[in-house]
Structure 1
Amino acid sequence: MSGYRLGPDDLIKISVLNEPNLSIEARLSDAGTVSYPFLGEIHIKGKTPGEVERLITDGLRGAYLVDPKVNVSVLEYRKYYIGGQVKHPGAYPYQPGLTVGKAVALAGGFGELASRDIVILREDDPAQPQLEADVMTPVHPGDVITVEESFF
C-alpha cells in the first residue's frame, strides 16, 4: 500500500542487506514503537515504511555500517472492526483492497435489521473522523465500521 502509515499492532519486517543480526520482525507497541538493535526503542507510528527505512539507515550509518541497505515491509496490517447490524461483529485482519462490502461479507453479511446507513470511524484521518460509507468505500487498517439499524 503506497503511502501506508504504520500504527499500533502492525507487524513489520526490517532487514539490512548482508546483516542478518540486524534483521527483525516486530509488532508495533500501543505507543507505536519497536525495539531495534543498536538504536533501542524507536517511534515509528504514523511513518511510512520508506520513512522508517531512512530513519534506520541514518541511525546505522557511520557508527555501525558504512552504507546500510535497509528494507521495511508490512507483514501483517492492524485489524479493522465491524459492528452493528452484521451477523458476526468483531475484529478482522485487514487485507489490501478491502471494501465495506467485502468487510460485511467477511462478517457474515448484513443482519435482518440492517439499514443502508454505514459509518466508518477512521483512526488515521483526524480531519474527517467519521465518514458516511457505502459498500464500495475502501476500508483502511484500524477502521471501525458500523452498520446502522433500520427503524421500519
Structure 2
Amino acid sequence: MAVTLLITLGSVATAQESGSYVLGPGDRIAITVFGQTDLSMEFTLSDAGTRNYPFLGEIVIAGMTLPRLEQRIADGLRGDYLINPDVSVSITQYRLFFINGEVNRPGGYPYQPGLTLEKALALAGGLGPRAATDEIVVKRASKALSAAVAIEMSEAVHAGDVIDVPQSFF
C-alpha cells in the first residue's frame, strides 16, 4: 500500500534518513561531563533551539547531531577549563510526532527510533472505519520547500512529523 509523504529538502530530513538523528525543539537532552557535576545537566530543548551552557554561553543545539554537540562542548571546555573533558550527550526523550484525522486516538506521541508509518498508526489506535488509506500525508517539520513522494507503510516516520489521515467519501 503506497501513501503520499510530504518531505522537505532541508538538512533535517536528509540527516534523519542517513541514520544521524538531528536534535530539535522538544527533545529532552542529558549532557554529562564525567567528574564535573556542575557541568552536567538535563533539559528540554526550547523552541529557540539554544541553551545557555556554563563557560560557553549560548549554544545553538537545534540542527546538531549528538556527536557534533559532544564535540562542540568538549572543544569549548578543553584548555581554559579542563585538560581533557569527557563529554557524553544522550536523548532521554524524543520530541513528539503528531497524527490526526481518521485514527482512533489522534494526538502527539513521543518519537521512537525505527518508527514506521504502520507503527505510528498503531500507536494512534489504528485507522478509523472511514480512513482513506491511499491518501495519508506526512508533513516534515522544516522551513524548507516541500515535495511529495509515495511511500510504503513500512517506511520511516521522523520526530516532528505531522501525519494526516483523511476521511474517505466512499
Q: Does the TM-score normalized on the shorter chain lie above 0.5?
A: yes
Corresponding residue to 2:166 among 144, 148, 151: 148
Instruction: Return the letter of the residue paired with 1:39.
Output: L
Question: Which of residues 106, 114, 137 is equivalent to 1:119?
Answer: 137
Identity of aligned residues (%): 51
Q: Does 1:87 align with 2:104?
A: yes
Determine which of 50, 64, 70 is the counterpart of 2:81: 64
**Higher RCO structure, 1 or 2 (CA under 8 Å, sep 6+):** 2
Unmatched 5+ residue regions in structure 1?
none
Tell me the secondary structure at the aligned position of residue 114 of structure 1.
Answer: coil
Contact kept in structure 2, 1:34 and 1:42, CA below 8 Å: yes
Normalising to structure 1: TM-score of the pair? 0.91
Q: Quick one: distance in 1 between partners of 2:147 and 2:28?
A: 24
**Root mean square deviation of aligned Cα:** 1.8
Aligned to 1:78: 95
Separation in 2 of the partners of 1:125 and 1:31? 14
Q: Given residue 110 of structure 1, which amino acid in structure 2 is its aligned partner?
A: L
Shift of 1:123: 1.5
**Structure 1 segments of 4 or more deviating over 3 A?**
124-134
Structure 2: runs of 5+ lacking an equivalent: 1-15
CA apart distance, 1:26: 1.4
| TM value normalised by structure 2 | 0.82
Distance 1:6 1:39, change over 3 A: same
- Matched-pair contact (CA < 8 Å) for 1:123–1:129: no
**What does 1:22-61 align with in structure 2 at a 5 Å threshold?**
22-61=39-78
TM-fit CA distance, 1:132: 3.9
Bigger CA drift: 33-42 or 94-103?
A: 33-42
Q: Which residue of 1 aligns with 2:4?
A: none
Moved more, 47-56 or 126-135: 126-135
| Distance across 2 between alignment mates of 1:47 and 1:129 | 24
